[in-house]
Amino acid sequence: MGIFLEEVEARRKILRGRKTITRRYYRGTAIPAWAIIVLTGFGMLLLGGGLYVLLQKFVVDAADTVDTHTYQPALQLES
């Protein structure tokens, strides 16, 4: 996030002490904002999918291999 905030910080320095901005002393980012959002979204999806696969393999499937159950139903006496 710090890489993309250069533009905002440069604008603050320019506007300090001025009412209006007449020149642009800062340069825009190399990647458009929509592309940053799309890349961030895909990154989150990949990270979430990888985490899902890891948890599925090590947590969910590992619990299926254990045959010991801690729950035992109560005995019901028939009268």
Of the pLDDT bands very low, low, confident and very high (cuts 50, 70, 90), residue 46 is very high
pLDDT for 44 equals 97
| Amino acid residing at 35 | A
CA distance 18 to 10: 14
Nearest to residue 26, comparing CAs of 44, 40, 43, 13? 13
Mean pLDDT of 31-58: 94
Q: Are 36 and 4 in contact (CB under 8 A)?
A: yes
Mean pLDDT of 49-74: 80
Domain ranges in the chain are: 1-30, 31-63
Does pTM top 0.85 for this prediction? no
